[in-house]
Amino acid sequence: MERVRKGLIAITGTTGVGKSQLAIELARALNGEVINADAMQVYRGYDIITNKVSKSEMLGVPHHLLGTIEPYREYTVHEFEQDAIAKITEIHSRGRIPILVGGTNYYIQSTMFRKALISNHARNAADSALACDPRLHAFEEQNAGKTNQELWEELKQADPTMAEKWHANNRRRVLRSLEVLHTSGKRHSEWIRESNQAREQEETLRFSTLLFWLYADTPTLNQRLDSRVDKMVERGMFDEIAEFKSQLTSSDKANPSHGDFSSGLMQAIGLREFSGYLAATDSAERDQLKAKGIDDMKASTRRYSKRQISWIRNKLLPECKSTLHKSTRAHAFVLDATDLDLWNTNVRDKAIDIAKRFDSDQPLPEPMSLSETAKSLLADIKSSPNSALAWERHLCAVCSKSAEESVDGIAREVWLNGDREYQQHLRSRQHKKNIKYRKRVAEPGHPLNKASKRANTSSE
Ligand SMILES: [Zn+2]
């Protein structure tokens, strides 16, 4: 009987780190199929400039959404999202595992996460319902004679949580919180707490996801990116550009763009950089623009890879982290692809091992334990601020355990949703037990006491 699979493996990272290769290796090891999530590679043809993986490199692994869209067509994120989800469902129904691979951030993000943020509505609904209330303006006028301090004292009595949040001089905010209570009969903090709870419990992920961030350090990567552009030129990139130009200017009915350099595949890095070259008629000028185009392409590829990294660190990973206390989670791992000679040990074998555990519901290793690179890149990643307001969600530092502290070697964070749950937790037997445990660990000489370890070595 075929296994039911519901998970998703996603591979992201900058251009030129070997994402396609890893996807194929994982697909072969886990009976998977690849879904392309690169905005240029969805387009048909122009395989050199879009840097598509070749048929022979695919080694028989099925690839989806790769080279299926006409080059002049505008393919929206929404279309991609729908197509990708349909493919994932289809691959699951074959009892195989889908592997989403690409560096286009909005493709990855919209496939992994639902966009509809219900609680944003809830939050706004509370606000807009009140904003329409004519009593609001009356309320402001009624209080015109009161000082900032007086208003704040009033708020402190009625809704201390909000009073703590606003400075007394922030008259507008203080008034607003008082208004909410006055007009709705419910404290402002209560409104916020409710909508946050809705957001907290909301499942933002579509699928249980294993995310690999394939990373190479910047100097190495930049060199690799430059030589990649040179190789593309050698492999005949300019033939593709010439072909693109003739297609672009032909009055073909299949080409509704009619020389529009801003739509479809034309947005791709490479083609955009050669728009001057494509438009030039003078041959000396063309040669000059060709050289400039190559330089521009190298520069914009580097810039693009920088943006990709900052998006992964600032948006994707925090968003993944904010799922870890929910029932559908995104587990993110960094794989170090800096040294290509070590690819098999640093990238392939580690990825296959983690993916097999993920696929069979076995415990996963602690992401930061994978390598020094992983440790430094993941150390300061925080939960997405959009999905959890700090004053509403609590991490219990006493009960959370690092990988080396826990019995089974897996790090666990203990999150409590809302003040009430947190207060209850603080009174629980488990928490009190952990307080005693922390005290023991803090004693000098305890094997897990890092401070005393350091102190010992420094005094030697
Ligand atoms: Zn605790």
pLDDT (tens digit per residue) in 299-317: 989 998 998 998 899 889 9
Q: Pseudo-torsion of CA 137, 138, 142, 144, nearest 10°?
A: 20
Percent of the chain clearing pLDDT 70 (strictly above): 82
pLDDT tens digits, one per residue of 401-431: 877 777 777 777 787 766 667 888 888 888 9
Structure tokens at 372: 């020094």
Closest CA to 355 of 6, 106, 7, 3: 7
Mean pLDDT, the chain, as a whole number?
A: 83
DSSP string, 251-267: --TT-TTSS-TTSGGGG
Reported confidence tier of residue 201, pLDDT bands at 50, 70, 90: low
pLDDT of 153 > 70? The answer is yes
CB half-sphere exposure, 314, CA atoms < 13 A:
6
Structure tokens at 253: 């009915």
Q: With beta carbons less than 8 A apart as the criterion, state whether 393 and 249 touch.
A: no
Q: Give the number of other Cβ atoms within 10 Å of residue 50's Cβ.
A: 24
Antiparallel, parallel or unpaired: β 32-36 and 8-13: unpaired
Q: How far does residue 415's CA lie from ligand 1's centre (Å)?
A: 9
pLDDT number for residue 180: 83
Q: How far does residue 404's CA lie from ligand 1's centre (Å)?
A: 18
Reported confidence tier of residue 440, pLDDT bands at 50, 70, 90: confident
Q: How far does residue 435's CA lie from ligand 1's centre (Å)?
A: 8
Q: How far does residue 206's CA lie from ligand 1's centre (Å)?
A: 30
Please state, in angstroms and rounded to a whole number, the distance separating the CA atoms of residues 389 and 409: 29
Q: How far does residue 414's CA lie from ligand 1's centre (Å)?
A: 7
Please state, in angstroms and rounded to a whole number, the distance separating the CA atoms of residues 69 and 84: 13
Please state, in angstroms and rounded to a whole number, the distance separating the CA atoms of residues 3 and 132: 54
pLDDT number for residue 80: 92
Q: How far does residue 387's CA lie from ligand 1's centre (Å)?
A: 22
DSSP H or E run through 5:
none
Structure tokens at 308: 């990709």
Reported confidence tier of residue 294, pLDDT bands at 50, 70, 90: very high
Q: How far does residue 426's CA lie from ligand 1's centre (Å)?
A: 6
pLDDT of 105 > 90? The answer is no
Which residues hold their Cβ within 5 A of ligand 1, which is an ion? 396, 398-399, 431
pLDDT of 131 > 60? The answer is no
Average pLDDT over residues 378-388: 67
Please state, in angstroms and rounded to a whole number, the distance separating the CA atoms of residues 3 and 317: 30
Q: How far does residue 384's CA lie from ligand 1's centre (Å)?
A: 22
DSSP-assigned beta bridge partners for residue 333: 212
Reported confidence tier of residue 322, pLDDT bands at 50, 70, 90: confident
Q: How far does residue 440's CA lie from ligand 1's centre (Å)?
A: 16
Tell me the domains of the chain and their CATH numbers.
Answer: 8-114+205-251+298-349 (3.40.50.300), 118-201 (1.10.20.140), 390-460 (no CATH)
Backbone conformation region of residue 320, classed left if phi is above 0, alpha if psi is from -120 to 50, else beta:
alpha
Q: How far does residue 118's CA lie from ligand 1's centre (Å)?
A: 30
CA 218 to each of CA 16, 25, 299, 338, 341: distance values in angstroms, whole numbers, following the listed order = 12, 24, 13, 9, 17
DSSP-assigned beta bridge partners for residue 101: 11, 36
pLDDT of 130 > 50? The answer is no
Q: How far does residue 189's CA lie from ligand 1's centre (Å)?
A: 24
Q: How far does residue 438's CA lie from ligand 1's centre (Å)?
A: 11
Please state, in angstroms and rounded to a whole number, the distance separating the CA atoms of residues 10 and 376: 21
| Residue 375 burial (10 A CB sphere; 0-12, 13-18, 19+) | middle
pLDDT of 332 > 70? The answer is yes
Antiparallel, parallel or unpaired: β 209-215 and 330-336: parallel
pLDDT of 267 > 80? The answer is no
Q: How far does residue 329's CA lie from ligand 1's centre (Å)?
A: 22
The lowest-confidence range among 45-54, 219-228, 274-283, 424-433 is 274-283
Average pLDDT over residues 183-200: 76
Q: How far does residue 187's CA lie from ligand 1's centre (Å)?
A: 28
Q: How far does residue 304's CA lie from ligand 1's centre (Å)?
A: 43
230 compared with 191, residue with greater pLDDT: 230
Reported confidence tier of residue 119, pLDDT bands at 50, 70, 90: very low
Q: How far does residue 217's CA lie from ligand 1's centre (Å)?
A: 38
Average pLDDT over residues 101-106: 90
pLDDT number for residue 449: 67
Structure tokens at 88: 């994932």
pLDDT of 363 > 60? The answer is yes
Q: Pseudo-torsion of CA 44, 48, 53, 57, nearest 10°?
A: 130
Reported confidence tier of residue 23, pLDDT bands at 50, 70, 90: very high
Q: How far does residue 355's CA lie from ligand 1's centre (Å)?
A: 31
DSSP-assigned beta bridge partners for residue 11: 101, 212
pLDDT tens digits, one per residue of 202-220: 778 999 999 999 999 999 9
Q: How far does residue 377's CA lie from ligand 1's centre (Å)?
A: 27
pLDDT tens digits, one per residue of 90-100: 999 999 999 99
Using DSSP's 3-state secondary structure scheme, residue 395 falls into: strand
Q: With beta carbons less than 8 A apart as the criterion, state whether 76 and 267 touch.
A: no
pLDDT number for residue 392: 57
Q: How many residues does the chain have?
A: 460
Q: How far does residue 405's CA lie from ligand 1's centre (Å)?
A: 15
Alpha helices in 211-328 (DSSP H): 218-234, 237-249, 275-279, 283-311, 317-321
pLDDT number for residue 198: 67
Q: Give the number of other Cβ atoms within 10 Å of residue 271's Cβ.
A: 26
pLDDT number for residue 254: 53
403 compared with 437, residue with greater pLDDT: 437
Average pLDDT over residues 427-445: 87
Distance, first Cα to last Cα, the chain: 63
Please state, in angstroms and rounded to a whole number, the distance separating the CA atoms of residues 99 and 360: 16
Average pLDDT over residues 442-460: 57
Average pLDDT over residues 380-396: 61
pLDDT of 11 > 80? The answer is yes
